[in-house]
């Protein structure tokens, strides 16, 4: 046999060699060979075990309208301190919303407005926890800060275990006044 027709030139040579080797021992059978993965490997989504209760809010720098406002009903199922020891009040087990930052924000305002006393708990993709109960002089919580690219979990909580409260949740790149968004209808 000429060297140009080696086993690399004959694709069946590798398979024949495997068959030959498998037949030489009683310990290995074709059924023992590992299966070849044909589907792409999926990376774990850090939020897969905690889908949001009300949906995803996609935002990018310069979004309109500003403020972007969504609504929901808070639920006091678990202590907010289960997310971070300094957070007070009660939140739902799953985040109310996922904020999908399509661009990073150097400064973004996240605020809630309700007829009841509500609180905000935010967990950014890097694991940073931010909490706020009352913005100075109001019952309306506000979190102002930088938000990295990716999904941020947002909870709107309530002060009493088992209580509920209708709310409006807003996102703004500009300074916010509590009257920027209307109170929810109860």
What is the pTM assigned to this prediction?
A: 0.71
Using CB atoms within 10 Å of the CB of residue 176, give its burial: 0 to 12 exposed, 13 to 18 middle, 19+ buried: buried
Which residues are CB-neighbours of 12 under 8 A, at least 6 positions away? Answer: none
**pLDDT value, residue 109:** 94
Q: Of residues 57 and 29, which shows the higher confidence score?
A: 57
**pLDDT value, residue 139:** 80
Architecture in CATH of 56-175: Sandwich (2.60)
Nearest to 57 by CA among 43, 67, 44: 67
**Torsion angle defined by CA atoms of residues 163, 167, 172 and 174, in that order, rounded to the nearest 10 degrees:** -100
The band of 125, judged by pLDDT with boundaries at 50, 70 and 90, is very high
Beta bridge partners of 71: 168
Pairing of strands 68-75, 164-172: antiparallel
pLDDT above 90 coverage of the chain, percent: 59
The band of 118, judged by pLDDT with boundaries at 50, 70 and 90, is very high
Q: Give the Cβ contact number of residue 179 at 10 Å.
A: 8
59: part of which helix (H) or strand (E)? strand 56-59
């Amino acid at each position: 046999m000429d060297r140009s027709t080696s086993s690399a030139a004959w694709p069946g040579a590798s398979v024949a060699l495997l068959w030959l080797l498998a037949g030489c021992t009683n310990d290995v059978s074709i059924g023992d060979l590992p299966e070849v993965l044909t589907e792409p490997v999926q990376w774990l989504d850090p939020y897969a075990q905690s889908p949001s209760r009300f949906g995803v809010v996609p935002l990018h720098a310069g979004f309109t309208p500003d403020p972007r406002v969504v609504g929901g009903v808070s639920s006091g199922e678990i202590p907010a301190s289960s997310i971070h020891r300094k957070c007070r009040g009660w939140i739902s087990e799953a985040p109310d919303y996922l904020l999908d930052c399509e661009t990073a924000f150097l400064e973004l305002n996240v605020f809630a407005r309700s007829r009841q006393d509500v609180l905000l708990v935010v967990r950014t993709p890097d694991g940073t926890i931010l909490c706020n109960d009352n913005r100075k002089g109001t019952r309306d919580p506000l979190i102002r800060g930088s938000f990295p690219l990716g999904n941020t979990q947002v909870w709107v909580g309530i002060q009493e275990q088992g209580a509920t409260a209708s709310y409006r949740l807003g996102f703004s790149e500009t300074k916010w006044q509590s009257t920027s968004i209307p109170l929810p209808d109860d």
